[in-house]
Structure 1
């Protein structure tokens, strides 16, 4: 897989025991399978215990090799699957992962928590530096 979508499984709706991350994982995997296009072959969906977005459940990250990583919050498994799928298609086609907020579909324009540049390694006179 060239790309990953990681979903927080610890996020809870305020004042409840509801952890919507597991439901979101199942729904997004099903939507990707049903899509039957490049998304199916290119993306892996998995969960992680915490992404430090507790105030904005569900938290979802898109990351790929040599690409910027995106972190989105306030994602609802009932209403945001199509936006997540549309962003997967867009992200797969972006060479470096960078796009304007105007290019992000629907709700993802307003729920971006972070865009993190791809990690780059540089070798400088025998030293390896991460940037």
Structure 2
């Protein structure tokens, strides 16, 4: 199963620089996660938006994400990949990122 992180490139604090920072952190963590970018994810009231999904797993949409959240995103991705259905038993390890969840979409 391939996990995909999608970053809104039109968000003010997002874009190519944010996606690049996420790619670099994912590589450093040794994760096999693909990072993509889209023009808009309609999370404009809480930019920058980041989506995480994998086939058959719950998908997540985070808002107000930025460079300060990259480390927490890596922790989230490790937990997400380890969870068979994508649901986290305890969100506390993902720090401030847990307060930035906009949606959890069943797989």
TM over 0.5: yes
User: With CA pairs under 8 Å and 6+ residues apart, which has the higher RCO, 1 or 2?
Assistant: 2
Give 1:102 deviation, angstroms.
3.1
Q: Tell me how large the CA RMSD over aligned residues is.
A: 1.6
In the alignment, is residue 24 of structure 1 matched against residue 18 of structure 2?
Answer: yes
Q: Give the gaps of 5 or more residues in structure 2.
A: none
Structure number having the greater helix percentage: 2
SS at match of 1:33: helix
SS at match of 1:52: coil
* Residue in structure 2 matched with residue 48 of structure 1 by the alignment: 38
Following superposition of structure 1 onto structure 2, how do residues 7-18 of structure 1 map, counting pairs within 5 Å? 7-12=7-12
* Residue in structure 1 matched with residue 88 of structure 2 by the alignment: 99
2:71 to 45, 59, 82: 82
* Residue in structure 2 matched with residue 6 of structure 1 by the alignment: 6
Give 1:23 deviation, angstroms.
1.2
TM-score normalized with structure 2 length: 0.91
- 8 Å CA contact 1:91, 1:97 repeated in 2: yes
Q: Give the gaps of 5 or more residues in structure 1.
A: 13-18, 119-131
Q: Which runs of 4+ in 1 moved over 6 A?
A: none
* Residue in structure 2 matched with residue 112 of structure 1 by the alignment: 101
Higher alpha-carbon Rg: 1
